[in-house]
């Protein structure tokens, strides 16, 4: 009889990709995917703890499985990801939800198969969150079960050394570990050979790629190496920390047409005092200088960012500095967050925590500004053409969709299956970050 798995993913792209690895591990053990929790023989939660609400979501959804587990005692429930890697979290989880069978940390993802075997051999519950085995696993390509065609994620490094004062990631992901360039190149080449059209390189701070392995190959050199392949594909990367974002990288982006001219450069805040308290190691002036350099080398470049309001001690003036920077940097869009204290981080212990009321007021004003800028950028598309990589079919809207180089989602109708193809659209309507258009036939660049 077939056995089914169901994976629920929270958090960043890193987790989305790691869920592909989890799927790969489960498939090796004979499981296949299903569409609902109720059909599953194993349910895996791949969790995130970047903000409190990410954790609350996971807790709520795990708790909701109590009934299902009672009705189906053979069901295995596993919880992995960043949430489990916080000190004491595994114990807390087991106490709160005694029906959870397996808890595995970010350092133990690849042991999930063994943990499952142990559980099935009759163990009551198995927990593995041991750190210290922080070897870089190089066999990603072998274990991932990808469902994101024509896009593929490739890890180039794990962990983070930066310890921004608000952030939990260095605590739950450990120190930076870079994969070997030859293994990354082999994985990327294999994906392109298979027909993938867009590769996104993943790391918490891609600019420090290779620092932990003696600088064998820098990040810009790695990009240039990948771009030696001349067939048509797109290359993206995330995330760049502004403190390490420099001219060499900008030049490589400018020189290689495969690299999308969309840079995600999280600034967090506009006030130098707050940036210092955040331990970001740059000022707003330095940030804007880098933006200027980027636009000098790549005039058609677009920029996105992450912004946070309500960091401890943030005053109205500090917040105004953020609004100011948003206007000056001219972001095409931004991800906006309300600061959430994370236990164990430096900022969580700071005096001057901001009330929810003030945070709410600031986030509303920030979102208002960001949205108006985003709309302005979208309206520029009207009547123009843009090339998208078709990635999916939306059965509700009855149309195909895909993103252009700048990450804008374009929707269009077609009688043929266009998934995996580059399609040129003439844009007839734009709302928010979405574009609607008609296919321009005979104009699609095929090489
Ligand atoms: N490594 C990436 C960020 C990963 S986390 C970088 O340095 O750019 C993604 C975003 O979540 C961050 O850029 C930040 O804006 C936000 N974030 C991180 N910790 C947070 C916290 N404690 N509260 C609210 N937002 C947070
Ligand atoms: Fe967190 Fe800063 Fe590392 Fe990004 S660079 S993951 S914000 S500590
Ligand atoms: Fe990503 Fe959340 Fe972990 S943002 S690195 S899944 S804490």
- pLDDT per residue as tens digits for the range 21-72: 999 999 999 999 999 999 999 999 999 999 999 999 999 999 999 999 999 9
> Which is the closest atom of ligand 1 to the Cα of 335?
15
Q: What tens digit of pLDDT does each residue of 207-262 get? A: 999 999 887 899 999 999 999 998 999 999 999 999 999 999 999 999 999 999 99
> Which is the closest atom of ligand 2 to the Cα of 161?
3
pLDDT of res. 138:
59
Q: Which residue minimizes the CA distance to atom 1 of ligand 3? A: 12
266 Cβ closer than 6 Å to some ligand 1 atom: yes
Q: Are 65 and 33 in contact (CB under 8 A)?
A: no
| C-alpha–C-alpha distance, residues 190 and 336, integer Å | 36
Comparison of pLDDT for 290 and 128, the residue scoring more: 290
Given a cut of 90, whether residue 108 has pLDDT beyond it is no
pLDDT of res. 132:
58
Segment 106-130 shows an average pLDDT of: 85
Given a cut of 50, whether residue 444 has pLDDT beyond it is no
> Which is the closest atom of ligand 2 to the Cα of 280?
2
Q: Are 380 and 311 in contact (CB under 8 A)?
A: no
Q: Which residue minimizes the CA distance to atom 12 of ligand 1? A: 306
Q: Are 204 and 160 in contact (CB under 8 A)?
A: yes
Pocket test for ligand 2, best of 167, 174, 266, 335 (most atoms within 8 A of CB): 167
Given a cut of 90, whether residue 342 has pLDDT beyond it is yes
Average pLDDT, the chain: 93
| C-alpha–C-alpha distance, residues 423 and 404, integer Å | 9
pLDDT of res. 379:
87
Given a cut of 50, whether residue 426 has pLDDT beyond it is yes
| C-alpha–C-alpha distance, residues 303 and 327, integer Å | 12
Buried/exposed 392-402: b ≥16 CB within 10 Å, e otherwise: beeeeeeebbb
> Which is the closest atom of ligand 1 to the Cα of 166?
22
Q: Are 48 and 81 in contact (CB under 8 A)?
A: yes
What are 332's two structure tokens? 């095409």
Given a cut of 80, whether residue 425 has pLDDT beyond it is yes
What are 92's two structure tokens? 């807390």
Query: From the CA of 52, which ligand is nearest?
Result: 1
Given a cut of 70, whether residue 447 has pLDDT beyond it is no
pLDDT of res. 404:
96
pLDDT of res. 126:
83
Residue 48: closest CA among 18, 23, 15, 17: 15
pLDDT of res. 125:
77
Query: From the CA of 239, which ligand is nearest?
Result: 1
What are 124's two structure tokens? 């009551």
173 Cβ closer than 6 Å to some ligand 1 atom: no
Helix %, strand %, coil % of the chain (to 5): 40, 25, 40
User: What is the value of pTM for the model shown?
Assistant: 0.94
Phi and psi at 304, nearest 5°, equal -125, 165
pLDDT of res. 350:
98
Q: Are 69 and 99 in contact (CB under 8 A)?
A: yes
> Which is the closest atom of ligand 3 to the Cα of 173?
5
With bands split at pLDDT 50, 70 and 90, how would you rate the model's confidence at 137?
low
| C-alpha–C-alpha distance, residues 237 and 202, integer Å | 6
What is the whole-number distance in angstroms between the Cα of residue 443 and the centre of ligand 3?
40
Q: Are 335 and 306 in contact (CB under 8 A)?
A: yes
Query: From the CA of 15, which ligand is nearest?
Result: 3
């Amino acid at each position: 009889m077939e056995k089914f798995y169901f994976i629920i993913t929270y958090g960043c792209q890193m987790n989305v990709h790691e869920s592909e690895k989890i799927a790969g591990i489960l498939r090796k053990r004979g499981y296949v995917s299903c569409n609902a929790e109720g059909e599953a023989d194993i349910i895996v939660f791949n969790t995130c703890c970047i903000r409190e609400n990410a954790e609350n979501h996971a807790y709520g959804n795990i708790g909701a499985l109590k009934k299902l587990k009672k009705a189906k005692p053979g069901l295995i429930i596993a919880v992995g990801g960043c949430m489990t890697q916080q000190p004491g979290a595994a114990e807390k989880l087991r106490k709160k939800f005694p029906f959870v069978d397996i808890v595995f940390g970010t350092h133990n993802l690849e042991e999930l198969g063994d943990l499952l075997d142990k559980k099935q051999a009759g163990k009551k519950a198995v927990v593995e969150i041991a750190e210290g085995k922080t070897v870089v696993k190089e066999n990603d390509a072998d274990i991932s079960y990808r469902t994101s065609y024509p896009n593929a994620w490739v890890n180039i490094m794990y962990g983070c050394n930066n310890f921004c004062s608000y952030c939990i990631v260095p605590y739950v992901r450990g120190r930076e570990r870079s994969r070997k360039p030859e293994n990354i190149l082999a994985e990327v080449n294999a994906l392109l050979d298979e027909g993938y059209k867009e590769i996104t390189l993943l790391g918490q701070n891609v600019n420090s790629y290779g620092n932990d392995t003696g600088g064998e190959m820098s990040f810009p050199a790695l990009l240039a190496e990948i771009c030696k392949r001349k067939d048509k594909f797109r290359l993206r990367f995330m995330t760049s920390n502004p403190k390490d974002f420099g001219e060499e990288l900008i030049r490589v982006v400018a020189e290689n047409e495969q690299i999308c001219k969309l840079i995600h450069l999280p600034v967090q805040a506009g006030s130098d005092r707050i940036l210092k308290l955040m331990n970001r190691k740059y000022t707003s002036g330095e940030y804007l200088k880098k933006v200027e350099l980027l636009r000098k080398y790549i005039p058609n470049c677009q920029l996105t960012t992450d912004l946070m309001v309500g960091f401890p001690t943030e005053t109205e003036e500090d917040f105004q500095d953020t609004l100011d920077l948003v206007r000056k940097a001219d972001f095409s869009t931004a991800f906006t967050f309300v600061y959430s204290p994370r236990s164990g981080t430096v900022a969580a212990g700071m005096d001057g925590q901001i009330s929810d009321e003030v945070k709410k007021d600031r986030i509303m004003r920030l979102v208002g500004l960001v949205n108006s800028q985003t709309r302005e950028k979208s309206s520029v598309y009207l009547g123009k053409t843009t090339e998208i990589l078709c990635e999916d079919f939306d059965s509700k809207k009855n149309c195909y969709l895909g993103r252009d180089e700048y990450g804008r989602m374009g929707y269009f109708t077609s009688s043929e299956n266009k998934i995996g193809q580059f399609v040129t659209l003439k844009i007839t309507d734009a709302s928010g970050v979405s574009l609607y258009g008609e296919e321009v036939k005979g104009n699609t660049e095929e090489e």
